[in-house]
Amino acid sequence: MDGPGDWPLDAEPATLSRPVVRFKGRGAVTNVAHRFATDERAEFDDGWPQESGEPQKLRTSVTAELAKSILTRNDSPDIPFDVSLNPYRGCEHGCVYCYARPTHSFLGLSPGLDFESRLFAKVNAALLLRRELSKPGYVPEVIAIGVNTDAYQPIERELRITRSVLEVLAEFRHPFTLITKSSLIERDLDLLSGLAERGLVRVALSITTLDHDLSRKLEPRAASPSRRLRTIQALTDAGVPVSVSASPLIPFVNDADMEAILEASAKAGATNAHFIILRLPWELNGVFQTWLETHFPDRATRVMNRIRDMRGGRDYDSRFGTRMRGEGIWSELYRQRFNRATRRLGLNQDRRPLDLSQFVRAPEITAQGAQLDLFCKLD
């Protein structure tokens, strides 16, 4: 299952399955028990001295996955796409606020540290996509890439699964969008610039803060904010239309950065922008609140109280239409600030639809072993 689906209104933080331990270069500070677990564990003081000193290291593992399907469809009225593609499960960027973390529960793994250290690579993604697009009854719709886990996370540098997916889309002249936090997308400018000339691609860069220290806490293995701004400039110079996602806004953590993010992004060449209020579905609630208490104990209560003010008194409200923006006076103030900034900067003035008419149906090819070299790279 690729998407997080719909979350209940009364979802509670999951019980911790291990003590809080900081790992160098990781976002989560614990592994919460996933919601399908039959055993429950809790931290207790056994009298032994606690470990201290430098944060420990946690190695990333990557498992090759032969996916059964590659396109995921949704009918959510508050999501601007109907079809998505995710080359990976889990994401090494380690963004502590990632709404996709609970999807690791379907693998029997924790949405905490497991999500960012135990990754799965869909090594047959390009082959499955080719087969799907080659079907006689296939009707093209814009495909959103990387909406659940970043398609350009660090392991893409070696595995090149996203690159192979883009090559298939280019061959079929199929329109798509991409969202990422990674400068690795610049590697594929040769493909993206040509597709942009045909009106077949849009790219969004997610920038959560311009503060490098805060970024290392929020999203430890993503590109730095300044590097992402340079990527916006590089994409713009190559003729690729770029938008910025100033998301998620977290009260008393990064919400003061909104205008600065939009201004810097517009200066770098972004033409569109959007924002989302922090979402805390399922186990993400426990992951985030433990991180918050670890890094910002002085303001943790204020942060959660403000979130509840925008969520009808709950930690999270999954209703369509409110789950992205919240409700109430504080949500309205965020909206007003965003609208004033985008008007001043000339953002969101032109958003032309991608061109579906150029789609060409290429013949399906059999490629036994075409993906097998990826297995070797995973060893």
**CA 227 to CA 221: how far, in whole Å?**
12
**CA 349 to CA 93: how far, in whole Å?**
31
Q: What is the pTM of this model?
A: 0.86
**CA 114 to CA 101: how far, in whole Å?**
9
Tokens of 323: 């789950």
Task: Determine the pLDDT at residue 39.
Answer: 57
pLDDT digits (tens, 9 = 90+) for 142-157: 999 999 999 999 999 9
pLDDT digits (tens, 9 = 90+) for 216-261: 999 999 999 999 999 999 999 999 999 999 999 999 999 999 999 9
Task: Determine the pLDDT at residue 21.
Answer: 62
Beta strands in 152-220 (DSSP E): 176-180, 201-206
DSSP 3-state assignment of 36? coil
In 3D, which of 201, 286, 281 has the Cα closest to residue 239? 201
**pLDDT at 276 exceeding the cut of 80:** yes
> In the predicted model, what is the mean pLDDT of the chain?
87
Task: Determine the pLDDT at residue 64.
Answer: 97
**Cis preceding linkage at 251, omega within 30:** no
**pLDDT at 122 exceeding the cut of 70:** yes
Q: If you average pLDDT over residues 171-178, what whole number do you get?
A: 97
Check residue 277 and report its DSSP letter: B
Instruction: Set out the domains of the chain in order of their start, with CATH numbers.
Output: 61-346 (3.80.30.30)
Check residue 143 and report its DSSP letter: E
Identify the residue with better confidence: 25 or 357. Answer: 357
**CA 183 to CA 173: how far, in whole Å?**
24
pLDDT digits (tens, 9 = 90+) for 154-165: 999 999 999 999
Task: Determine the pLDDT at residue 261.
Answer: 98
pLDDT digits (tens, 9 = 90+) for 323-339: 889 999 999 999 999 99
How many CB atoms are closer than 10 A to CB 250? 23
Task: Determine the pLDDT at residue 81.
Answer: 84
Task: Determine the pLDDT at residue 286.
Answer: 94
**CA 36 to CA 8: how far, in whole Å?**
15
**CA 161 to CA 155: how far, in whole Å?**
9
Q: If you average pLDDT over residues 171-193, what whole number do you get?
A: 98
DSSP 3-state assignment of 274? strand
Q: Among 92-96, 363-367, 369-373, whose mean pLDDT is lowest?
A: 369-373
Q: If you average pLDDT over residues 76-102, what whole number do you get?
A: 92
Q: Among 36-50, 61-75, 347-361, whose mean pLDDT is lowest?
A: 36-50
Q: Among 139-143, 265-269, 308-312, 319-323, whose mean pLDDT is lowest?
A: 319-323
